């Protein structure tokens, strides 16, 4: 489990530039998938061998400054609740503002590492000006210029030093299924229907549960751990509609799982927030099963299911090889099918294919449809193997890996899916020099 670091601060202090700078180094490698950069508010970063998840709260608040005043308090409180460390960004050009003071007041009460970061410090004069931020009462500060990255090294050294050590929990080798989705999509009802007793009492009392709950589950002949975020809300502080909230919640559950059961409300469809969670799971290379809940309440005709499914797959492109199941947690319709499918996806994710079989099946196909020539140079793929990673990754060894472009990699991915069945699982295809 990696630590979560949240970046907070008022608008236009440069949070997003800073965020992009931190995830860029890795993102470029990790996300060799096109079309994944849809939401830039969540990423993984690594420094001195320590990995952490980074959340840019700024990306979640739209609206005018006065709307922002109220929102920013909510965001900061959330970050305080959820993150393991907080980066509070201010801007040397505008100096200490009233809004900065409000945020500082909330952060002074926190017993988590808080890093005050003064941005846009790109010369000696500005470094002197930064002294006024001592007035915020948060002690030492770090000066950076996110535009060119100066100063980020010292900040990151201190940050990873301060992150709590996460114990690696060694568990029995049971698949871990996370139930995720936006608030009120019916996650708790789904889990109650599965477990058969109201272990997650769907209440509106503040602080019902504090962290994602794991349930060891054995029914219908399957055994697995259920990672649940459903019961987790603190109504007292947080308005349920805060998009940032469900994303932050999902981050933990997703990172902690093998397969994500993404529950969505049939009446709301595959909307922006559900997509955020979907891409989060995809980017973490987890198995995914989409559950369309409350299907019993939808006006239907004979072609509803097909059309609904088509509409969802359109939004998922290019990763459309994902099972979609129409359920009703209320009437328990198809909830067994949902678990059965999750188990299938888990098996797909852990599937290992013999090198000889890979080469026998794919080399003839590649022979018939070779990669397009580039600048009159021909790419020859000689050999294929599956890498020894927890999720499916394949290396294609060839003479000119740099000339193999995205569309052809997608072609290879589709052939892998077609012949070896990886439904519900993101696949990574790498070109390596022979």
Residue 231 annotated as lining a ligand binding site: yes
pLDDT at 37: 34
Residue 100 annotated as lining a ligand binding site: no
2 vs 52: CA distance, rounded Å: 5
Cβ(56)–Cβ(251) under 8 Å?
Answer: no
pLDDT at 94: 86
Residue 296 annotated as lining a ligand binding site: yes
| CA-based nearest residue to 9, from 103, 94, 97, 119 | 103
CATH superfamily, domain 355-433, is K homology (KH) domain (3.30.300.20)
Residue 286 annotated as lining a ligand binding site: no
Q: Which regions in the chain score pLDDT beneath 70? A: 1, 24-41, 58-72, 166-172, 196-215, 219-220, 228-249, 301-303
pLDDT at 134: 93
Residue 269 annotated as lining a ligand binding site: no
- pTM (2 d.p.): 0.67
Residue 334 annotated as lining a ligand binding site: no
Delimiting residues of CATH 3.30.300.20 domain(s) in the chain: 355-433
CATH superfamily, domain 176-350, is P-loop containing nucleotide triphosphate hydrolases (3.40.50.300)
Task: Break the chain down into helix, strand, coil percent, rounded to 5.
Answer: 40, 20, 40
Backbone φ, ψ for residue 115 (5° rounding): -110, 115
Residue 60 annotated as lining a ligand binding site: yes
Q: What is the pLDDT of residues 51-78, one digit of tens each?
A: 888 887 765 554 455 555 666 677 777 7
Residue 310 annotated as lining a ligand binding site: no
434 vs 380: CA distance, rounded Å: 10
Residue 202 annotated as lining a ligand binding site: no
pLDDT at 125: 85
Residue 15 annotated as lining a ligand binding site: yes
Give domain 3-162's CATH architecture. 3-Layer(aba) Sandwich (3.40)
Residue 230 annotated as lining a ligand binding site: yes
Residue 59 annotated as lining a ligand binding site: yes
Residue 188 annotated as lining a ligand binding site: yes
Residue 404 annotated as lining a ligand binding site: no
Residue 121 annotated as lining a ligand binding site: yes
Cβ(57)–Cβ(86) under 8 Å?
Answer: no
Delimiting residues of CATH 3.40.50.300 domain(s) in the chain: 3-162, 176-350
pLDDT at 89: 92
39 vs 271: CA distance, rounded Å: 13
Is residue 390 classed as helix, strand or coil in its secondary structure? coil
């Amino acid at each position: 489990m990696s630590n979560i670091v949240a970046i907070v601060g008022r608008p236009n202090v440069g949070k997003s530039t800073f965020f992009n700078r931190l995830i860029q180094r890795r993102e470029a490698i990790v996300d060799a998938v096109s079309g994944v950069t849809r939401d830039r508010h969540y990423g993984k970063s690594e420094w001195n061998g320590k990995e952490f998840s980074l959340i840019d709260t700024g990306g979640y608040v739209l609206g005018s400054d006065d709307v922002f005043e109220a929102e920013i308090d909510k965001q900061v409180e959330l970050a305080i609740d959820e993150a393991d460390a907080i980066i509070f960004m201010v801007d040397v050009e505008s100096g200490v503002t009233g809004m900065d003071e409000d945020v500082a007041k909330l952060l002074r009460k926190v017993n988590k590492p808080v890093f005050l970061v003064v941005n846009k410090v790109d010369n000696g004069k500005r470094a002197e000006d930064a002294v006024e931020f001592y007035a915020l009462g948060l002690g030492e500060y770090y000066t950076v210029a996110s535009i060119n990255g100066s100063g980020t090294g010292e900040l990151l050294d201190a940050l990873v030093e301060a992150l709590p050590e996460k114990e690696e929990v060694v568990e029995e080798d049971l698949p871990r299924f996370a139930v995720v989705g936006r608030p009120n999509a019916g996650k708790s009802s789904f889990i109650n229907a599965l477990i058969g007793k109201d272990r997650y009492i769907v209440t509106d009392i503040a602080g019902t549960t504090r962290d994602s709950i794991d349930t060891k589950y054995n029914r219908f002949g399957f055994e697995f751990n259920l990672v649940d975020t459903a019961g987790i809300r603190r109504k007292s502080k947080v308005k349920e509609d805060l998009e940032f909230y469900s994303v932050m919640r999902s981050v933990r559950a997703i990172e902690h799982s093998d397969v994500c059961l993404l529950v969505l409300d049939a009446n709301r469809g595959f909307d922006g927030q559900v997509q955020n969670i979907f891409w989060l799971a995809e980017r973490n290379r987890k198995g995914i099963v989409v559950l369309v809940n409350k299907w019993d309440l939808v006006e239907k005709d004979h072609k509803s299911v097909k059309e609904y499914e088509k509409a969802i797959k359109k939004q998922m492109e290019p990763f459309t090889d994902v099972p979609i199941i129409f359920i009703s947690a209320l009437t328990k319709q198809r909830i067994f099918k949902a678990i059965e499918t999750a188990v299938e996806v888990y098996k797909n994710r852990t599937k290992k294919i013999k090198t000889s079989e890979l080469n026998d099946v794919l080399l003839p196909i590649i022979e018939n449809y070779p990669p397009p020539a580039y600048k009159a140079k021909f790419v020859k793929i000689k050999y294929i193997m599956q890498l020894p990673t927890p999720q499916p990754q394949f290396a294609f060894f060839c003479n000119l890996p740099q000339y193999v472009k995205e569309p052809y990699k997608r072609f290879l991915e589709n052939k892998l899916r077609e012949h070896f069945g990886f439904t519900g699982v993101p696949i990574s295809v790498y070109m390596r020099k022979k």
